[in-house]
Structure 1
Amino acid sequence: MAELATIARPYAEALFKASQADLEATAGWLEPLAAVAGDPQLLQLAANPNVRAQQVIDLIAGVVGQPLPGPAMNFLRAVIENDRIAALPEIATQFRALKNARTGSSDAVVYSAFPMDAGALAAVAPSLEKRFGRKLNLTVQEDRSLLGGIRVVVGDEVLDTSVKARLEQMKVALTA
């Protein structure tokens, strides 16, 4: 079987071209679809030859928990009828990359030892955007092993200001 990235590319590009008028709205329904489609039990159900495509579509639409617009239902139908449901998370990833390239932004994950509210994230966002030189779409994940501070990952770039990283630096300096 071809690699998922190769399978997903034409779908992501076609969806990107078709949704030029409102990329944010498309991303708003594509991300939940991709999250649901990544479930192994759903993939197993979709692979069952006794289950019709419409049953899988109805199941996914019900699990998403938000009403899906017509284009979302058409896209989902095309993906399922072409037996590409397993590629849906990769389609969403490639779509997000195309959208980010268009807007000149990047996805960034802020790892924090403690929960960060929207105010704290908004306070740190301008300095992170200045440091990385582009607009960032920030998401937060808690990582208690950091002990304190934050670690920011943007693509293959990492900014680590955590207590754990500083302790490691001190350990290296003391043992050198």
Structure 2
Amino acid sequence: MSNQAVANRYADALFQLAQEKGILEQVNEELQVVKQVVQTTPAFSQFLGHPKVTTEKKRAFVQESFQQSISETSLNALLLLVDRKRIDILVAMIDKFKALAYEAQNVAEATVYSAQPLSEEEKAQLAELFAKKAGKAKLLVKNIVNSDLLGGLKIRIGDRIYDGSVKAQLERLERQLIAGTR
């Protein structure tokens, strides 16, 4: 079985448990912190993946690292991955859990590319407007400044892209002029 399929199974199980306990949002936030630690600290993954380090030492390390900052449910999920020697699927499991949690909460993430940084008020307005278009109750907006856009916005929600940038409008105009349709 592929690592992604295994990660999906663990994520499904953790999702169901968190949903039963009513702590879905909390577990999702905790797992995002764990993911950030794993991705920003390569030594963390190297230690947990090292074959000569005993499972007991790995368990103790995980408990020391996260016991104070995450719930028992999240901690037990991490310890289970250590026990089963599946720590290599941790990031994939967290990503799948996040997708399941967002789907259950009717939430989506939007990446907004703009020529200049957006204010919090502008982000809130975009979130409200595009949540309706995406059919979601809530939209979490992440702003990325891209000076190549010249002006306007480019918004990515899942696999959909709304391109209202000046650069895209100029490119469309150029294609129309070359094709002779204008």
TM-score, structure 1 length as denominator? 0.84
Give the gaps of 5 or more residues in structure 2: none
Tell me what 2:118 maps to. Answer: 116
Pairing 1:20-169 to 2, within 5 Å after superposition = 20=19, 21-38=22-39, 40-51=42-53, 52-54=57-59, 56-57=61-62, 60-61=65-66, 67-135=69-137, 136-169=139-172
- Post-superposition shift, 1:41? 4.2
Instruction: Give me the whole-angstrom Cα distance separating, in 2, the residues matched to 1:26 and 1:35.
Output: 14
Instruction: Give me the whole-angstrom Cα distance separating, in 2, the residues matched to 1:4 and 1:107.
Output: 25
Deviations 1:128-147 (A, max 9, x none): 12222323232222323222
Deviations 1:63-98 (A, max 9, x none): xxx722222222211122222222122112211221
- Tell me if structure 1 keeps the 8 A contact 2:8–2:93: yes
Query: SS of the residue aligned with 1:19?
Result: helix
- Bigger Cα displacement from structure 2, 80-89 vs 155-164: 80-89
Give the gaps of 5 or more residues in structure 1: none
TM-score, structure 2 length as denominator? 0.81
- Post-superposition shift, 1:13? 0.9
Tell me what 2:9 maps to. Answer: 10
- Bigger Cα displacement from structure 2, 158-167 vs 46-55: 46-55
- Post-superposition shift, 1:164? 1.8
Instruction: Give me the whole-angstrom Cα distance separating, in 2, the residues matched to 1:162 and 1:4.
Output: 39
Instruction: Give me the whole-angstrom Cα distance separating, in 1, the residues matched to 2:87 and 2:109.
Output: 24
Q: How many residues align?
A: 172
- Bigger Cα displacement from structure 2, 119-128 vs 139-148: 139-148
Would the alpha carbon gap of residues 167 and 60 (structure 1) be closer, same or farther in structure 2, given more than 3 Å must change? farther
